[in-house]
Amino acid sequence: MRGEKFRRSTLMSPNRDALDQFIEAMPKVELHVHLEGTVRPATLRDLAQKHHIDLPVGDDASLAAFYRFRDFDHFIDVYVAACECLRQPEDFTRVVCELGADAASQHIHYLEVHFNPEPHARKRGITFTELLAGMNEGRRAVRDTWGVDMRWIADGVRDADSGPISVEQTVDWITRLDPSDGVVALGLGGREIGYPPELFAAPFRRAREAGLNVVAHAGETTGPASIWSTLRHLRPARIGHGISAIHDPRLIDHLAETRIPLEVCPTSNLRTGVVRNLAEYPFRRLDDAGVLLTVNSDDPPMFGTTLTDEFRLLRRHAGYGAAHLRRFTFNAIAASFLPSDEKLDLHDRCDSEIDSLVQSLGLI
Ligand SMILES: [Zn+2]
């Protein structure tokens, strides 16, 4: 009861209009966020000190400057630094707990979180079993503390120093797991250019035959041809990004007909320059064409965003109101890898929360 009062008073803040308050309090679901890309700046500094890693993150100003997005190469430096600092199971537990707290504060009820196990194990000596145990300790704590649920997507890295073995090794690990370990899919991340999907067709087939879902980044930095070949060779249940589909009307029709969802990450695409500005962003055109879109934050502190900010951006981009924005929560539930009974429960929970929010804000 006290919580409800607090929420109402927060919602009545005079500085924000009703739609912004709706965006903030709306229940959300996120399907494309990278665990290593969620490390908070202060946590990076703590972990670097703990592991005696030399990083330019001494005082608060230098820490903020290090995290500020400059260009893609610098973003990779920050990402690699975050990976370098994750060395022990408890480091993974900590970042999962912090991700859960950040999710709870944005009313994100469920997340599917990507992680890159193979480089961690190869470069820093932590075993897959140890790092997954650390992550699952965090997952349990997040569920108990915040009521936020998570599942994992284990990404092989297409341009890993170890070559295609990164994907093979990831499949070896995750096909041996129990559903209670929380890994629901194989993913494919890393540099698209020079590492086409056909190189990874065999391990992806092996994962599918073992009953795992598969997803892949495609059409982020490459054109629609790479989305077609990803669909053909990897048969993903969802595409990460996929926004270059806008350049191929036949592909747009195909995605709309098959309802293969895109995990769209607007701020990430704008920061990395794959789309020049918000006016040119293809979200609204893909949505209007009937493609099933979900809204995601990718690497939130590194791109200076949050999932809530992504919804604010879509409001500016497309003029969406509450009725439009709520659809993306339900799209994400439909596109998630939750078992059907849990999907239904999550759908009902979000539906009733949105209804009462809409009423309390007078947005009907
Ligand atoms: Zn991504």
pLDDT surpassing 60 at residue 112:
yes
Q: How far is the centre of ligand 1, averaged over its atoms, from the C-alpha of 285 (Å)?
A: 21
Percent of the chain whose pLDDT exceeds 90: 84
Q: Which residue has the higher pLDDT, 35 or 125?
A: 35
pLDDT surpassing 80 at residue 41:
yes
Report yes or no: 178 and 212 within 8 Å, Cβ to Cβ: no
Q: How far is the centre of ligand 1, averaged over its atoms, from the C-alpha of 36 (Å)?
A: 11
The structure tokens listed for 11 are: 């919602």
Helix axes 340-360, 18-25, angle to 10 degrees: 150
The DSSP output letter for 178 is -
- pLDDT tier at 88 (50, 70, 90 boundaries)? very high
Q: Report CA dihedral (339, 147, 28, 211) to the nearest 10 degrees.
A: -20
- The pLDDT score that the predictor gives to residue 8 is 41
Q: How far is the centre of ligand 1, averaged over its atoms, from the C-alpha of 111 (Å)?
A: 14
Per-residue pLDDT tens for 295-338?
A: 999 999 999 999 999 999 999 999 999 999 999 999 999 999 99
pLDDT surpassing 70 at residue 6:
no
- The pLDDT score that the predictor gives to residue 164 is 84
Q: How far is the centre of ligand 1, averaged over its atoms, from the C-alpha of 332 (Å)?
A: 16
Report yes or no: 49 and 81 within 8 Å, Cβ to Cβ: no
pLDDT surpassing 80 at residue 2:
no
Q: How far is the centre of ligand 1, averaged over its atoms, from the C-alpha of 34 (Å)?
A: 6
pLDDT surpassing 70 at residue 13:
no
Classify each residue of 207-217 as buried b or exposed e, where b means 16 or more C-beta atoms within 10 Å of its C-beta. Answer: bbeeebbbbbb
- The pLDDT score that the predictor gives to residue 15 is 59
| Burial (0-12, 13-18, 19+ Cβ within 10 Å), 221 | middle
- The pLDDT score that the predictor gives to residue 193 is 87
Q: How far is the centre of ligand 1, averaged over its atoms, from the C-alpha of 14 (Å)?
A: 36
Q: Which of 36, 84, 98, 220 is catalytic?
A: 220
Report yes or no: 49 and 130 within 8 Å, Cβ to Cβ: no
Per-residue pLDDT tens for 47-85?
A: 999 999 998 888 889 999 999 998 888 888 999 999 999
The DSSP string of 237-253 is: SEEEE-GGGGG-HHHHH
Q: How far is the centre of ligand 1, averaged over its atoms, from the C-alpha of 335 (Å)?
A: 16
Q: Locate the domains of the chain by residue range.
A: 28-42+87-335
CA–CA separation, 197 and 228 (whole Å)? 10
Instruction: Average the pLDDT over 248-269 and give the result.
Output: 97
The structure tokens listed for 38 are: 């969620």
Q: Give the pairing type, strands 108-115 and 213-218.
A: unpaired
Instruction: Please tell me the pTM assigned to this model.
Output: 0.94
Reported CATH class of domain 28-42+87-335: alpha beta
Residues surrounding ion ligand 1 at CB below 5 Å: 298
pLDDT surpassing 70 at residue 14:
no
pLDDT surpassing 50 at residue 11:
no
Q: How far is the centre of ligand 1, averaged over its atoms, from the C-alpha of 113 (Å)?
A: 10
Instruction: Average the pLDDT over 244-252 and give the result.
Output: 97
Residue 4 annotated among the catalytic residues of the structure:
no
pLDDT surpassing 60 at residue 198:
yes
The DSSP output letter for 251 is H
User: How many Cβ atoms from other residues are within 10 Å of residue 364's Cβ?
Assistant: 8
- pLDDT tier at 16 (50, 70, 90 boundaries)? confident
Measured CA distances, 74 to 67, 81, 83, 96, 176 (Å): 9, 11, 14, 24, 36
